[in-house]
Amino acid sequence: MVEWNESLITQYGGPGPRYTSYPTAPNFHAGITQADLASAVDEGNAARRPLSLYFHIPFCSTVCYYCGCNRIVTANRARAGEYLKHLKHEIRLRAAMIDDRRQVTQIHWGGGTPTYLSDAQMTELVYDMARHFNLREDDRGDYAIEIDPRTVDRSRLGLLRGLGFNRVSLGVQDLDHDVQEAVNRIQPWEMIRDTMHWARDFGFRSINLDLISGLPRQSEASMTRTLEKIIPLKPERISLYNYAHLPERFKVQRQINCDDLPSSEEKVRMYARAGKMLQDAGYRFIGMDHFALETDEMAVAQRNGLLHRNFQGYSLHGDADLIAMGVSAISQIGNLYVQNQKDTGAWQARIENDEIPIEKGYMLSKDDQLRRDLIMRLLCDLHLDIKAFEQRWGIHFSQTFADALQRWHFFADQGLVTLTADHLNITEQGRLVSRALVQPFDRYIAQQPAVKYSRIL
């Protein structure tokens, strides 16, 4: 089991990539073309890879002061109708490129607040997906939607289950009223409890709760009280994100009183307390900011070496091409990353011109591919078979990664990793700071001193 060592969190908890991709988003550039996209999709068609679909719904009715997402805060519901018109057009453009025999094994609606949409609009979008993509009909796919508990009731949960969603993610963040008031998101514990009960009643097979550590007016004591209410509800998965206060980048965060933010020492204490409480309650620390019950598919996949990472975080569908639609959405198709236009007007204009709304992206070189493989395997499996890796990529491992291995010997002296001629392993203790441990294999991070990453812990 992981020891929630506060000094270790302090030493290695500084800024770093989340590695939802490698290379990471700061390496994306505007040189990616429609031809690059078409070539990558054709390769995926030939390989008959399954599909993962992501839809970005950017609307919220109120603003949460901590938010760093690409979102539109508006009470004008007509804007959502206009957005959906263009999103459905993008669906048609994307689907026209893809072999319709390729099955959709994963769907994720994120935002913003997908449940900002009306019942009719959500139904319309699901039916449009089904018309243009090969969705599963046996409820065995991972079809997930993020929800704001303030926007749903029992009947809406029933509608979502009837539309085929079988996983749900609730934005909770914190249950302390003072904290909720400081971030402009009031939602009492009873609302979370009822929403979870409704989801269970309708047969959603997995519930994830999002929590945030480091919010204004938060403390180790308030975090403890929140978890004492959350843990008995037994969500299958819990994401505990570190709040990144970047008011120069996200204007809405200027609404937060800096004097209300917990000290760095308090943040370390609350994160360590949270991790220990969740682990003691039967949750496996998957890595980074994810926890799952030992019986959950994600925990089972990690134990069996079947876990992957993509732009939605840890995933059981690493063999699938991720096709992402909506403003700012990022696709991963084979060895190509492609991000849509971040500006809604530019995104709509490109779609009206019958173009896939590419803003930027990245095509991986062979060196990028092998480093991605290495970093993702260490983050997901926590170990690497060096001989198998050498055979797969045709390299001499100790020569290719000589500098990184020097750093790993230092990590080994601290008990964070073990390394032999045949294997690399991240120890149980090292799992706590795995994002820091893979950075020596990232050839770009030292070249990006100006990039402001969020803290690891």
Domains of the chain: 24-324 (3.80.30.20), 365-446 (1.10.10.920)
For the chain, 457 residues long, the average pLDDT of each consecutive 10-residue run is: 89 87 94 97 98 97 92 91 98 98 97 96 97 95 96 97 97 96 96 97 97 96 97 97 89 94 94 95 93 95 92 87 98 98 97 98 98 96 96 97 96 96 95 94 82 72
Strands 423-426 and 383-385: antiparallel
> Given this model, what pLDDT does residue 346 score?
97
Q: Virtual CA dihedral for 97, 101, 105, 107, nearest 10 degrees?
A: 40
CA distance 98 to 101: 9
> Given this model, what pLDDT does residue 450 score?
57
Residue 450: exposed, middle, or buried by beta-carbon count in 10 A (0-12, 13-18, 19+)?
A: exposed
> Given this model, what pLDDT does residue 357 score?
98
Contact 189, 225 (CB under 8 A): no
Single out the residue of 104, 126, 87, 125 nearest to residue 52, CA to CA: 104
> Given this model, what pLDDT does residue 249 score?
86
